[in-house]
Amino acid sequence: MTSSLYPAVYRALCSSDIDAKPRLASQCHQQWLDGRLPRETDALPLPHPLPAPGRPVRPQLVSPFEVPRQGLGSVAGRAGLIHAIAHIEFNAINLALDAVWRFRDMPDAFVEDWLRVAAEEATHFNMLRERLQQLGFDYGDFVGHNSLWQMAVDTDHDVMVRMALVPRVLEARGLDAVPPIRKKLAALGDAETVAILDRIFEDEIGHVQIGNYWFTTLCDARGIEPLACFRQLLIDYEVDTLRGAYNWEARRAAGFSEFELAMLEDFAVTRRRLSAGA
């Protein structure tokens, strides 16, 4: 059965099956590399607002503030943490697929980059889900939140804004968060989960790097100064996920400049001061 790029990607994006979605995402990437997904821009369905991608009935979605934090000393606590990361990876599959499906004026290199990201996120999800099952749980056994996809909705009008705020903010925060989690799990002797986090961390540096490349490329094409634009977008979209420590080394590896890192630190400090005074 032959297909073309956009219907195939849309099928994966809209799949609500937790087995099928990762498989379809990986399949799209491989078929693209093999030249079996021609890029027919008039292929239906046309891009449209997508309030929600395909996802299973479980996990139940709640406010980010309602997601309980559990200690890592128990198996259930570790499973809850793994589930939270798996939920991020499941949403990241959708975010990468949506970038391909939605922004059709972008070149083939953009398609290839984000199909690769989707396939890698699918691998991450499957690895985490398998680890959950080893611990006696499965994806959907804990609650999750929808803030990742909400950012996709908020940025569906402009690929430059999407590149600025999804890979360069949300995924980049993963570079900051994973090492401390890894350290705690290593201290508990959970070598299996540590190995998965190591794989995810290395791949995520590449994902942020891709976002950095396309954001700066789009800014250059539009005659916009990237850092001023990024700072203004952080303000316009009321980004509040920049608190806490930064992983300077990983962010440098992903393409953040020294000036930009200093800007982010200043931005985070300013936001903390404003919050404290509210």
pLDDT tens-digit map of 23-51: 999 999 999 999 999 998 666 567 888 88
As a whole-number percent, the residues of the chain with pLDDT over 90 amount to 74
What per-residue confidence (pLDDT) applies to 260? 85
- For the segment 74-103, what is each residue's pLDDT rounded down to a tens digit? 999 999 999 999 999 999 999 999 999 999
Here the CATH number for the domain that contains residue 139 is 1.20.1260
For the question of whether the overall pTM of this predicted structure is more than 0.85, the answer is yes
Name residues of the chain where pLDDT drops below 70: 1-2, 41-45, 241, 270-278
- Does residue 60 form part of some domain? no
If you search the block for the tokens 């804990």, which residue do you land on?
A: 142
CA dihedral 52, 56, 57, 59 (to 10 degrees): -100
Task: Give the domain range for residue 149.
Answer: 5-39+67-277
Rounded Cα gap, residues 213 and 205, in angstroms: 12
Q: Give CA torsion, residues 175, 181, 186, 189, to 10 deg.
A: -140
- From the list 38, 175, 166, 182, the residue with the least C-alpha distance to 114 is 166
> Domain for residue 252, yes or no?
yes
**Domains of the chain: total:** 1
pLDDT of residue 1: 45
